Amino acid sequence: MIMRLILLFLILICSINGYSQYLGNIFTKGVKSDYIFIVDKEAKKLKVVEIVNDEISVIQEYGNILLGEIEGDKQKEGDKKTPEGVYKIISFIPPSKLSKIYGDGAYPLNYPNPVDKILGKTGYGIWIHGLEEGGNKTFTQGCVALHNGDLKNLGTFNPIGKDVIITKETKYLDVTDYISQKSYWINYIDSYLNSWENNDFQKFSNFYHILFKNNIGQNLKKYLLMKKKLMNIYPYKRIYVDEMKILKEDDKEVFINFRQLYCAPNLLNEGYKQLFLYNDTGKFQIIYESYKSTKNYEMLEQFIKSFVDNWKKSWESKNLDKYITFYSKKFFAKGFKRDGWKEYKRNIFKKYKKISLEISDMNFKIVNPLLVEVVFKQRYKADSFEDYGLKKLILKGCPGDYKIYRESWSKIK
């Protein structure tokens, strides 16, 4: 019911603003800023798509692009076809290192991508490149070619590392279909993650294609055996995602990329997951998966900040029942267990009319996957009383389930 009301509200807003068509190749959730490129083979255009806080718009188009001499999706080396799928721009080759036929430079793509390799497609050297001045080419050997001025303009969007969708034809949807498809894909990922988090092995395994491989070389059998073993050993886990991009080439291939925070008794890790989905049986299934850890913990930091902020608000409001829910049943500090701590705080809350806290310079350290140490400076004011010191909280559990396990304070002189 709530989802239906949200959809109706969005439809109403879009209708008021006069929007009628939406890109059906790109859906996002939690993406603040990005550029994605679409090569439309039918229209012979390259489109620059800008994403700002999940608002998606085509901001630039380059027409009269050149494509492979032979129509269709590239299958093998030398077939003179331009591939179709989702790729990444991996580098830039300056004109000084190229033949004149490539104009003012070239951006190589990662063809063959993982799905291409699984499906046995061959070939190499698929680029987005410029054109020789005064040349009379009307097609390429499989690359995407732009006029030099357009290639230079493309460079202003910092294309290295950006996604490129090469499709027969750009898909446009009316607002109802757009919202419906976006909801479908977000629900698809939610269902996939829930099956993993809830250890529903049968449901989880159904998301995977029989030809599945991952970035460490596991096939479907080895991968699922590993996952089943981990589900049995570590049934408690929490998985969160953000910065989700769903790129749809056509009704056969979809690429999904998101930032993932994973927590279980054996591992606390944050990084980027890539899923390639393939549909040759009437339903999309994961045919390739990769994961790369990041050095920072941005999602974890937000969970910690939110926890501390809510804990602080319950303390300032003197809401004892809410305040004590932030503490583990095995909490111990200052000689108090949890119940004793509750009574200790009850007396303080009664003593003062107003309590306020200022928190600054917060840092955290991962002690083990289920234990995080949070340290910050705390200025405490209660009526006319005031102190300033270093507070340390030991949080136990996974993000979303955190409870304060230990707490200490030392005065800053």
pLDDT, tens only, 28-84: 999 999 999 999 999 999 999 999 999 999 999 999 999 999 999 999 999 999 999
Domain membership flag for residue 154: yes
Structural domain range at position 325: 298-411
Based on the domain organization, do 52 and 104 belong to the same domain? yes
Do 83 and 97 sit in the same domain of this protein? yes
Mean pLDDT of 341-351: 96
If pLDDT is split at 50, 70 and 90, which confidence band does 287 have?
very high
Average pLDDT across the chain, whole number: 94
Across the range 191-213, mean pLDDT stands at 98
Query: Which conformational region is residue 97 in: left (phi greater than 0), alpha (psi within -120 to 50 degrees), or beta?
Result: alpha
Q: Is 123 among the domain residues? A: yes
pLDDT of res. 8: 47
Which pLDDT belongs to residue 251? 86
Please check whether residue 8 lies inside any domain of the structure: no
Mean pLDDT of all residues in 125-143:
93
User: From residue 289, how far is each of 126, 268, 275 by CA, in Å?
Assistant: 23, 19, 5
pLDDT grade, residue 413 (50/70/90)?
A: confident
* Domain membership flag for residue 3: no
Paired with 163 in beta bridges are 36, 88
**Whether residue 220 is found in the same domain as residue 277:** yes
pLDDT higher than threshold 90 for residue 7: no
Query: What tens digit of pLDDT does each residue of 249-283 get?
Result: 988 999 999 999 999 999 999 999 999 999 999 99
Domain presence at residue 19: no
Q: Quick one: 188 and 250 in the same domain? A: yes
**Which of 108, 157, 113 is CA-nearest to residue 129?**
108
* 211/273 same-domain check: yes
Indicate the residue among 128, 151, 170 that finishes a domain.
Answer: 170
* Residue 112 belongs to some domain of the structure: yes
State the sign of the Cα–Cα–Cα–Cα dihedral 337, 339, 340, 342: positive
Q: Which amino acid is at 78?
A: G
Q: What is the CATH number of the domain that holds 191?
A: 3.10.450.50
**Per-residue pLDDT, 134:** 81
In a domain, 188, yes or no: yes
> Which domain-ending residue is among 146, 170, 194?
170
Same domain, 110 and 202: no
- Do 199 and 135 share a structural domain? no
From CA 63, how far away is CA 165, in angstroms rounded? 16
Looking at the 3D structure of the chain, how many domains does it have? 3
Of the candidates 320, 300, 310, 413, the residue with the CA atom closest to the CA atom of residue 357? 310
In whole angstroms, give the CA distance from residue 122 to residue 77.
Answer: 5
Q: How far apart are CA 302 and CA 299, in angstroms?
A: 5
Q: Which two tokens stand for residue 45?
A: 């255009």
Per-residue pLDDT at 239 exceeds 70: yes
DSSP label at residue 100: G
Residue type, 313: K
From 155, 170, 185, give the residue that closes a domain. 170
Q: How confident is the model at residue 20 (pLDDT cuts 50, 70, 90)?
A: low
Query: Of 366, 396, 369, 394, which is closest to residue 265 (Cα–Cα)?
Result: 369
Mark whether 165 and 41 lie in a shared domain.
Answer: yes
Residues 392 and 409 sit within 8 Å (Cβ to Cβ): yes
Rounded to an integer, the average pLDDT of 320-333 is 97
Show the CA angle centred on residue 35, arms to residues 30 and 37, nearest 5°.
125
> Do residue 31 and residue 153 come from a single domain?
yes
| Structure tokens belonging to residue 309 | 């902020």
Residue 367 in any domain: the answer is yes
Mean pLDDT of 352-363: 97
d(CA 315, CA 383): 14
Region 330-337: mean pLDDT is 96
CA distance 347 to 345: 5
Residue range 110-125: mean pLDDT, rounded: 97
Residue 160 has pLDDT above 70, yes or no: yes
Q: 266 and 201 in one domain?
A: yes
Q: Please check whether residues 132 and 196 belong to one and the same domain.
A: no
CATH number at residue 95: 2.40.440.10
228 lies in the same domain as 360: no
- Give me the pLDDT at residue 4, please: 46
Q: At which residue do the structure tokens 């993982």 appear?
A: 114
